């Protein structure tokens, strides 16, 4: 792969000039790892951040009894852990690959130096971190103020928009993850998610296939 052109395709670095990109590309290291590989664990000192080239990575928290909350599911082209570089420099969550994956690793030191000289990069990073912030505020809203059905609805709507279309009847949404993981993403249990899908199917709001959801009544999704 051509690292520079891949990096240019990430949202974080898309605003930079070719010169800036290649300066950054020169600092990186390519990492190829199998599925279920731990990239970093909550609390560890952050030594850099990642851009995902291929595969899939979950970023999550876990409590003592093993319950897991997925904060984010990263897909190719996304960067993650940028924010861990600042204010303490520890990872606030853990990350693990879900499939065999290829990543570009950006070491903290050189990147931070570069950051001090490059205000444009700095602003890009700022807006990247802000996007994370919004995502987390949404997650808090979901967990605290919505029941499971409403969370699932909100998730499906977000997935629609992420794919660039407004929710219309007949739209099909690929889930891109196992249902058990979707459950952990929504902060619930697999069994509860299964029942919620059932209930919504019975109400004619949607139809569930193995790995995709068919929207039948988009207006009902919006309402909850």
Partner DNA sequence: CGGCTACTTGACTGTGGTCAATTGGTGTGG
Partner DNA sequence: CCACACCAATTGACCACAGTCAAGTAGCCG
Asked if residue 105 binds a second copy (CB under 8 A), the reply is no
By a kind-dependent CB cut-off of 5 to 8 A, residue 132 interacts, out of DNA, a second copy, none, with a second copy
For DNA, which residue of 31, 33, 195, 224 counts as binding (CB under 7 A)?
A: 195
Angle, CA of 179, 78 and 50, to the nearest 5°: 105
Cα dihedral 116/117/119/121 (nearest 10): -80
**Distance in Å, CB of 93 to a second copy, minimum:** 6
CB atoms within 10 A of CB 47: 16
Per CB under 8 A, contacts with a second copy among 178-217 are 187
Q: Which stretch binds DNA (CB under 7 A): 41-49, 93-101, 123-131, 177-185?
A: 177-185
Residue 110 and residue 70: Cα distance in Å, rounded?
30
Per CB under 7 A, contacts with DNA among 26-55 are none
Residue 143 and residue 151: Cα distance in Å, rounded?
8
Asked if residue 7 binds DNA (CB under 7 A), the reply is no
For a second copy, which residue of 77, 88, 107, 174 counts as binding (CB under 8 A)?
A: 88
Asked if residue 30 binds a second copy (CB under 8 A), the reply is no
**Residue 176 and residue 78 in contact, taking contact as beta carbons nearer than 8 Å:** no
Q: Which stretch binds DNA (CB under 7 A): 69-77, 82-90, 163-171, 189-197?
A: 189-197
Asked if residue 148 binds DNA (CB under 7 A), the reply is yes
Looking at the Cβ atoms of 6 and 197, the one nearer to DNA is 197
What is the token pair recorded at 189? 């249990």
Residue 196 and residue 113: Cα distance in Å, rounded?
49
Residue 26 and residue 14: Cα distance in Å, rounded?
16
Looking at the Cβ atoms of 176 and 223, the one nearer to a second copy is 223
Asked if residue 131 binds a second copy (CB under 8 A), the reply is yes
DSSP state of 85: G
What is the token pair recorded at 200? 């919504």
Q: Which of 103, 2, 3, 5 is CA-nearest to residue 54? A: 103
Residues near a second copy (CB under 8 A) are 61-63, 67, 69, 71, 83-88, 92-93, 115-119, 122-123, 125-134, 136-141, 143-146, 187
Residues near DNA (CB under 7 A) are 65, 67, 147-149, 178-180, 187-198, 208, 210
């Amino acid at each position: 792969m051509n690292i520079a052109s891949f990096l240019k395709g990430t949202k974080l670095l898309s605003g930079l000039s070719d010169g800036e990109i290649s300066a950054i590309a020169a600092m990186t290291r390519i990492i190829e790892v199998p599925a279920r590989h731990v990239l970093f664990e909550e609390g560890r000192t952050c030594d850099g951040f990642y851009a995902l080239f291929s595969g899939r990575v979950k970023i999550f928290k876990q409590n003592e009894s093993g319950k897991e909350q997925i904060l984010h599911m990263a897909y190719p082209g996304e960067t993650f852990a940028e924010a861990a570089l600042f204010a303490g420099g520890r990872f606030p969550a853990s990350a693990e690959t879900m499939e065999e994956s290829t990543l570009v690793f950006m070491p903290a030191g050189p990147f931070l130096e570069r950051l001090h000289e490059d205000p444009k990069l700095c602003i890009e990073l700022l807006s990247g971190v802000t996007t994370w912030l919004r995502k987390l505020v949404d997650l808090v809203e979901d967990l605290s103020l919505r029941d499971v059905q409403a969370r699932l609805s909100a998730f499906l709507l977000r997935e629609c928009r992420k794919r660039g279309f407004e929710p219309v009847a007949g739209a099909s949404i690929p889930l891109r993850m196992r249902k058990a993981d979707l459950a952990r993403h929504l902060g619930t249990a697999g069994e509860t998610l299964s029942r919620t899908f059932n209930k919504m199917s019975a109400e004619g709001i949607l139809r569930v296939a193995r790995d995709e959801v068919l929207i039948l009544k988009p207006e009902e999704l919006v309402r909850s």
